[in-house]
Amino acid sequence: MVSRGRTGLVIGVAAVVVAALAIVAVLLVRPWEPATRAAETGVSESAHVYDPATADAADDLTGYLYRPTPPQAAGGTPVIVLIHGGGWLKGPDASYVAPIARSLAAEGYVVWNVNYRRVGEGGGWPTTFTDLARGVDHVMKLRDTAPEMDTSRITVVGHSAGGQLAAWTAGRHTLPDGAPGAAPAVRPHAVVTLAGVLDMRLSLTKNDHVKRALGGTPDEVPDRYALVDPLERLDPAIPLLAVTGTGDTVVPPREAAEYVEKHRARGGSAALVELPAIGHGEVIDVHNKWWPTINSLITTVAEHGPRAVVAPRP
């Protein structure tokens, strides 16, 4: 059963940090055929292919649905959409965040862990973004499979490049007609980024991943940055929690700090949690000593939404 008594503890931790300014294999089954492992973990897993544009894209457009067992009452379980990172590049996929999906499902949440095509395997502009948008929206088509889902409480969680994509989902409804990801079926009630790329221009100073994903620099393709850079596609109406490690040398923690500051300046509810002396990958390591704190932050946001994101200003 979902814990409802952790809010005070979690917000206390978040407030202290903010004030200080702070692969496990996925069980593959045929689409739409659930495979239950309740005896082992209390979590069932199933694979679902969503709207492949071409037959050879099917593997890259497979998502994994994790459900606590036994299922709760219809419409009573919050949903977490989980987005992996990897610099938008070929290689990493949803399997590396599968331990997180299981951890969250074991806490009593339905988790939808999505894939998308990346640069070097048919992705890049705009395919990576349209794939991800379809993957997020597909959660609405899973209600027959998982009727316990409360689709009014969908929290989108992303790591690294997946953090950019998670934050972008919050502003998709502001996109102009015809833009990649426009007219979303899902408007999240909250977003959580874990070491997320929240300033794509700043990220360009670290490596060329953004340039490869968008097909150019801000001077070369300014319209693309305007459509997908979280700083430019920010909706203060969607609460956001940004978690980062002070030891992250891949995505500078100041990306999260600046994003949260801008979110608040526009009247939004946003919280920043900086965890001491951990790096980019450690924020998603379920064996790290900080994982219970991160897990609790995510599940509190998923359970309580806007109230859980609000943290005292320093």
Which pLDDT belongs to residue 307? 61
Which pLDDT belongs to residue 60? 64
Which pLDDT belongs to residue 197? 97
Which pLDDT belongs to residue 267? 93
Which pLDDT belongs to residue 277? 87
Is residue 294 pLDDT above 70, yes or no? yes
Average pLDDT of the segment spanning 69-93: 92
Which pLDDT belongs to residue 57? 54
Which pLDDT belongs to residue 2? 41
**What pTM did the predictor assign?**
0.84
Structure tokens at 86: 């990897």
Which pLDDT belongs to residue 53? 52
Which pLDDT belongs to residue 140? 95
Which pLDDT belongs to residue 34? 30
Q: What is the pLDDT of residues 41-68, one digit of tens each?
A: 499 999 998 875 554 555 568 899 999 9
Structure tokens at 228: 């997908």
The runs of H, that is alpha helices, within 151-195 are: 161-170
- Using CA atoms, how far apart are residues 90 and 119, in angstroms rounded to an integer? 6
Which pLDDT belongs to residue 262? 95
Is residue 149 pLDDT above 90, yes or no? yes
Average pLDDT of the segment spanning 4-25: 34
Average pLDDT of the segment spanning 296-311: 76
Which pLDDT belongs to residue 308? 59
Average pLDDT of the segment spanning 128-150: 95
Which pLDDT belongs to residue 7? 37
Average pLDDT of the segment spanning 104-117: 95
- From the list 268, 224, 218, the residue with the least C-alpha distance to 242 is 268
Q: For the purposes of burial, counting CB atoms within 10 Å of the CB of 152, is it exposed (0-12), middle (13-18) or buried (19 or more)?
A: exposed
In this prediction, what percent of the chain has a pLDDT beyond 90?
Answer: 74
The neighbouring-strand residues paired with 244 are 274
| Mean pLDDT, the chain, whole residue set | 84
With a CB cutoff of 8 Å and minimum separation 6, the contacts of 35 are 27, 29, 44, 45, 46
Is residue 148 pLDDT above 70, yes or no? yes
Q: What is the pLDDT of residues 151-196, one digit of tens each?
A: 999 999 999 999 999 999 999 999 999 999 999 999 999 999 999 9
Is residue 3 pLDDT above 90, yes or no? no
Which pLDDT belongs to residue 275? 94
Q: What is the pLDDT of residues 217-258, one digit of tens each?
A: 999 999 999 999 999 999 999 999 999 999 999 998 999 999
- Using CA atoms, how far apart are residues 214 and 152, in angstroms rounded to an integer? 32
Is residue 24 pLDDT above 80, yes or no? no
With a CB cutoff of 8 Å and minimum separation 6, the contacts of 67 are 34, 43, 44, 45, 105, 110, 146, 148
For 83-119, b/e burial (b = at least 16 CB within 10 A) is bbbbbbbeebbbbbbbbbbbbbbbbbbbbbbbbbbbb
Structure tokens at 91: 């290689």
SS (H, E, C) 270-310: EEEEEECCCCCCHHHCCCCCCHHHHHHHHHHHHHHCHHHHC
Residue with tokens 């102009």: 176
